[in-house]
Copies of this chain bind each other. A is one copy, B any other.
């Protein structure tokens, strides 16, 4: 289990979180450059076991909100997370003890490391998705406990800021935050979801930073050995490679604070084709029109040769890719959770048929039989 994050850990985390992000969470390469600059200045960041948190510790989450397509064009100023965290602290008149991870996917795996380092508090090795999702209310910290998204604070690269002290529900909190994010150019820093250590322990998807790091390390090893990297990714995540082919079409719009669209992949060996629809993240995959995988299970696109994550904002014609389906963490598969993150929550009139198994959210030392042990 990872207990601190150093410069050397950035590349494995970027790869692992890029894959777990199912397309979203923000560009992991750019997030990694940002994290590296902060670690160079401040030193490694401490990562703590969620079960080491005091029950009454005060924890928040930190992340970027917006469209991943924007995240590669509108670079951060660098202190968005810290300024949003301090603004929220000022509003609630209390100090946070630790920062948890809203989503382990993409650059949003790194924002809580950056925020924690800049604020001088540890990052919790726990997120609330075990992947990435496009909307705030899709967080197990929220639907798995009585924590609420508001009060929250948002800050952009300029000096625009907002505090939302209350929202009628977490869904309304998302709607307000999304529109504020649009006013901030579809990219803003968000610090939200005040909760206690007890709530983190109860509702989080734990050890996902350790998992992202482990996954990245296994990918790098497999690249060096020139083995079948996509298969290694599937093995680590207890999933399977559902398709290999070439991207033949992409339709992607940046609209209302999201990147929405679809990607088509043609199989190398025959006329089969895979279609994936996304809203920041990959949500539903169909082979020749038949649904094969849906949210909350993970649909991850990696390059065919290197097994590197292919996120939504860099999907392009001609890339040779493999698509991996992996079982979602248990926290996302309860009845309550599926109402928020299941296919119907995204407007797809499809039942969720869970993939068997899964390792995301398990303690590293209990899941070694499935290969997840750093």
Contact = CB atoms under 8 A, between A and B. Distances in A.
A147 to B, nearest CB: 17
Contacts of A179: 179-180, 182-183
Contacts of A180: 162, 176, 179-180
Contacts of A87: 165
Nearest to A156: B168
A87 to B, nearest CB: 7
Nearest to A176: B183
A176 B184 CA distance: 8
Contact size range, A: 20 to 34
A175 interface: yes
Interface string A154-178: 0000111111111110001001101
A123 to B, nearest CB: 26
A146 to B, nearest CB: 16
Interface string A129-167: 000000000000000000000000000001111111111
Interface of A: 87, 91, 158-168, 172, 175-176, 178-180, 182-184
A171 to B, nearest CB: 11
A197 to B, nearest CB: 27
Number of copies: 2
Contacts of A165: 87, 161-163
A172 B87 CA distance: 19
A87 B166 CA distance: 11
A88 to B, nearest CB: 11
15 contacts: A87-B165, A158-B168, A159-B167, A160-B168, A160-B172, A160-B176, A161-B165, A161-B167, A163-B163, A163-B165, A176-B180, A176-B184, A178-B183, A179-B179, A179-B183
A87 B167 CA distance: 14
Contacts of A182: 179
Contacts of A178: 183
Contacts of A183: 172, 175-176, 178-179
A59 to B, nearest CB: 22
Nearest to A174: B183
A192 to B, nearest CB: 13
B168 A159 contact: yes
Given A158-B168, A160-B168, A160-B176, 7 more contacts: A91-B91, A160-B166, A161-B166, A161-B167, A175-B183, A176-B180, A176-B183
Contact of A176 (B91, B162, B167, B172): B162
Contacts of A158: 168, 172
Nearest to A165: B161
B164 A162 contact: yes
A80 B179 CA distance: 20
